[in-house]
Amino acid sequence: MKDMLLSFHSYKGGTGKTTFVGNLGVLLAKRGGKVCIVDTDVNGPGIHSLFNIKYDMTLIDFLQGRCRAEDIIYEYDGDGLELYIVPTRACEEDISSLFDTPAEAREKMSELINALQRDLLIEHLIFDCSPGINRSSLLTMNLADKATIICTIDVQDIRGTYILSNMADKLGTKANLLFNRTPRDKQKEIEEVIKDFSNKLGTYLLGSMTFDDYVARAWSRKLVMEEDPECDYCLQLKTIAEKFV
């Protein structure tokens, strides 16, 4: 895979976005890439829990000028993986609200990106963004090479995804669409629905991943890509990952 700066979004919580991002990061690192996952979901941060990262300083501290970029980068203790995590902590404010102007917020986020690429030679930079339509998510979307919207077949989620896709288009960011947690017993009907929806949006459809009980039982506390990389969920994720090339 070539170097990528990817952002992952969802209109609602509970789409499995963070679980997908975490396991994708492990997959890319297993393939020899230098990977960093940045948690910008200040409303409900979860990447640090998934990777069991114990932190002192976080993204918020860096953005507020209380520390340097290198102080918030934590190396994951994986088996020979070059995988790094930038955690965040729960914050009442939106990331953009920490600055006087959107330009200042973008400049500070770009400073972090430059430090990761310069000092650690990060090849695959992945942002796990806050659900919903907010300035923080749009800021990150605008910085990314490609944005991926993770959606379920919930009607409200689909409507919100339509808005998110339009936002990406206005920002000039290429958007992918991924349906997640779809019912296995209705896969054929769902495939037809999501293809039609994607065509109407004019958005590239990565595909769909079925609900996986094995992943659900993990309770976002372990990475199935490390524990059982040949499980059904991981095989589906590998197929989706190929489409990022």
pLDDT tens per residue, range 148-199: 999 999 999 999 999 999 999 999 998 999 999 999 888 888 888 899 999 9
Tens-digit pLDDT profile for residues 7-21: 999 999 999 999 999
Domain ranges of the chain: 4-242
Q: Round to whole Å and give the CA distance between 209 and 237.
A: 8
Residue 81 has pLDDT above 90, yes or no: yes
**pTM for the whole structure:** 0.95
pLDDT at 80 over 80: yes
Share of the chain above pLDDT 90, in %: 80
The architecture CATH gives domain 4-242: 3-Layer(aba) Sandwich (3.40)
pLDDT for the residue numbered 62: 98
pLDDT above 80: residue 1: no
Instruction: Indicate the average pLDDT of the chain.
Output: 93
Average pLDDT of the residues in 187-213: 90
The pLDDT score that the predictor gives to residue 217 is: 87
